[in-house]
Chain A
Amino acid sequence: MSIKLVSLFPNHLDLNGDQANLLVLAKRLKWAGVAAEIVAVEKGKSIPEDAALIFLGHGSMAAWADVESELNRLVGDIKRLTADSTAFMAVATGHERAIKLGLLGGTAKAKARISKFEIAVIEGQEILGYLNSATDAPVIQKLGLLLGTQLHGPVFAKNPVLADSYLAEIAKAQGVDLAIDALNTNASLVAGIVDQVWELERELASE
C-alpha cells in the first residue's frame, strides 16, 4: 500500500517553501522503500478518507482570505480523521489557524514580530528552522500524531531525525512497519549536508 500525504490548498499555502515538508517525507519514505503519494486537496474538494497525514501549510494574507472558509468547512473532517489514525501537521499561519480552530493546543495571541533562525526543543530533540511570527503560538508542539510549528519552510529537511520518527509513527498508525535505512545513499548524503546547515544556522539562531 501507499502512504497518502494529503496537503490542504498547496497552491495557496507554500509561501516559504512549506510544502517542501511533504517532498521531504515522500523522499524519505521512497528511500526507505515505502511507496508514498502526495495528494492535493484544493478548494471545493474533500479529504481522502485514507489520508495518513493531513498537512496545512503557510500562506499570505491574500491566500488565507481565499481559503479560510474552505478550511472551516473541513475542520469537522480533520477532527474526525485525526481522532482515528490520521496524523495532522500545521505550519506557521496554518499552525495559528489550527490552534484557533481547536485542532491543536496552545494559544496564538498577537505579540511583537520575530524574524530569525530559531532552535526549539521537543521530546528532547533540538529542532532548527526559520521563525517569522507575530504570535505567541508555540515554536513547535507535538501530541502523538498532531504536530504544529511556527517554523516555516522545510522543517523536516533540516531535521531528519524528527522527520523519521514522525514518519515511523505515521506508518505504524497505518499498519506499515517502517525501517529507515541509514545506509541509503541519498539519506546519508542528506545527513552530511544537514550537519553543515546546522553548523551555519545554529550560529545565526544565536545572534
Chain B
Amino acid sequence: MLYIPAILIGRLVRTLVRIVRPGGGSALPGLVVSKIAPGLLARTLSKFPDGLVVITGSAGKSTTTKMVVAIARAHGKTVFTNPSTANIAQGFFSSIIEQSTITGRISGDVAILEMDEGHAAEITRRIKPRQVTILNVLDDQLDRFVDPALVREKLTDVAKRATDALVLNADDQNVLQINKEVAARGTSWFGLAPQIIAGTEHGLGNAPTYLADLPRPNTQTEVLSFNEDETVALVADQKIKFDLPNRGIHFALDAAAALESTRRYLGDSFDAQLAANTLTELPPVFARGEITQVNGVDVEFILVQNPMSFQLNLDNLPSDQEQLMVAIGRDVHDPSWLWTVDLKNLKKVDLVSGFNFAEMALRLAYDEIPIGVIEPDLEVALDNFFAQPAPTWGRRTVIFSADAMRRTRRYLGFTDPEAVGR
C-alpha cells in the first residue's frame, strides 16, 4: 500500500511524457519516483524467488541481456527486465512503474537486469545479486569515468557481491584482474576461440592493462567459429550451432556470455539445444547491422557507442558504400575519442550531421576523407539523405551514435521502443 501514490504519480508522468514525445523519454517517471519512494527499487527486486541476475561491463550489455532473457523465457521462466535505455537506478524505477501492480509488485521468477558499469556498484550495495556477468572494460565515456582502472574497481565491487555465481569474460585481461581480486569460488568463464580474435585487426578493443598477461582460464562456454550462416559453440562440452542475430565479433562474444550466464542460472534445467534455437530465432537488434527500409529503399543503420564499437563496425563495414551518412549526437559529451578511431575504411562520407557534426567533420577533414555535405540539422540531413535516388551499385548506410539514433528513430516514425530499441 505504501507505494501506491508513488506509482500513480509515476504513471501520470509517463503518460504526459508520451504525449509530448512519442517513442521517447523513459527516464523522467523513474527520476520522479526515485525521489519520492527510494525504497521501492530494493523492495520490488528482492521479491523474485530466483533473485537478481546482473549483466554489466562497458559494452554488449543490452544484447547480452536480451539474449539471456530470451533463453530464460524459453525455459519457462517469467522474467522482469529493463530496456537498454534504462540501465541506471532511475531507469529501473521507470521499468517498475511500467510493469508492476499498483502496489509496486511484479510477479515473476527472476529479475535479469542490464546495469550501467558506473552505477552497478551502488545499486548492488543495496540489493545483492544472485549472479553477476561481467563483459569487459573498455576506454569508454572517459569524461565520466576518467580512467578504465576506476571502472575496473567498480566492477570488482559488483563481482564481490554475487552470492551464487560469477560469469566472466576469459578474453579480457581486465576481467581476469577482477577475478584475481575477487577470488570467488563460483566463477565460470566464457570466451571466443583464440583463432577468432587472432583474425581481427583491432581485437576486442578492451582497455589495455599494461600488465603481464594472466593465463587464460579454461572456458565453460566458448564460441568456436562463426560466419554469416552459422555459429558453433561449445557449452559445457556440448557442441551447439545457431545463427547470430547480427554480424560481428562482439555479437559472438555476447552470445557466449549469454549461454554461460543462462547455463549457470538455470543449472540442471538448462537445455543447450533450446538455448541455441532461441538465439537463432532472436530478431536482429536495431541498428546493429541489419537492413531496414526507409521510403521503400534498403538502408543499413549502424550504431556506434564508443571507440571500440566505432572501430569494430568500421572494420566490418562492407566496401560498397554508395551513400553514407554519419551522425554523431549529444551522447558524445567529449568528442575527443573520435580521434582514436582508425577511419581508413571510410573512403568518403556523403553527409555529416548530429549535434557533434563539426568535430566529426573536422576529424574526416584532417584524414582527408572526402565529405559531401555538412548539415548541422539532423532532420534536414535525414530528409536530404533519404530523398536521394536509390543507390545503383552499392549500399545506403547511416552510422550514428545513440542520441542521433534516438532522434532518427523518432523522426522516421519508428516509435515502438520494443521493436527497435533493444
Contact = CB atoms under 8 A, between A and B. Distances in A.
A193 B149 contact: no
Interface in B105-151: 139, 142-144, 146-149
B334 A62 contact: no
B337 interface: yes
A62 B365 contact: no
Contacts of A132: 142-143, 146, 334
Task: Give the interface size bracket for B toward A.
Answer: 35 or more
Contacts of A66: 210-211
Interface in A59-74: 60-63, 65-66
Interface string B191-219: 00000000000000001111100000000
Nearest to B209: A62
A85 interface: no
B334 A190 contact: no
Given A17-B338, A66-B210, A61 B149 contact: yes
A62 B362 contact: no
Given A20-B339, A20-B366, A196 B357 contact: yes
B228 interface: no
A105 interface: no
Interface string A187-207: 001100110110111000000
Nearest to B368: A186
B361 A196 contact: yes
A17 B339 contact: yes
A15 B376 CA distance: 28
Interface string B202-244: 0000011111000000000000000000000000000000000
Nearest to A152: B336
Contact of B366 (A23, A61, A63, A200): A23
A14 B339 CA distance: 9
A115 B336 contact: no
Contact of A60 (B139, B361, B374): B139
A196 B376 CA distance: 9
Given A20-B366, A193-B358, A196-B376, A153 B143 contact: no
A142 interface: no
Nearest to B340: A17
B146 A62 contact: no
Interface in A104-120: 113, 115
B298 interface: no
B359 interface: yes
A157 interface: yes
A27 B368 CA distance: 9
A196 B143 contact: no
A190 B364 CA distance: 10
Q: Which 9 residue pairs spanning A and B have beta carbons closest together? A: A17-B339, A153-B336, A66-B210, A196-B358, A20-B339, A16-B336, A197-B358, A17-B340, A61-B149
Interface of B: 139, 142-144, 146-149, 207-211, 334-340, 355-359, 361-363, 365-368, 371, 374, 376
Given A27-B366, A200-B358, 15 more contacts: A15-B142, A16-B336, A17-B337, A20-B339, A23-B339, A62-B208, A66-B211, A132-B143, A154-B366, A190-B362, A190-B365, A193-B358, A194-B362, A196-B358, A197-B359
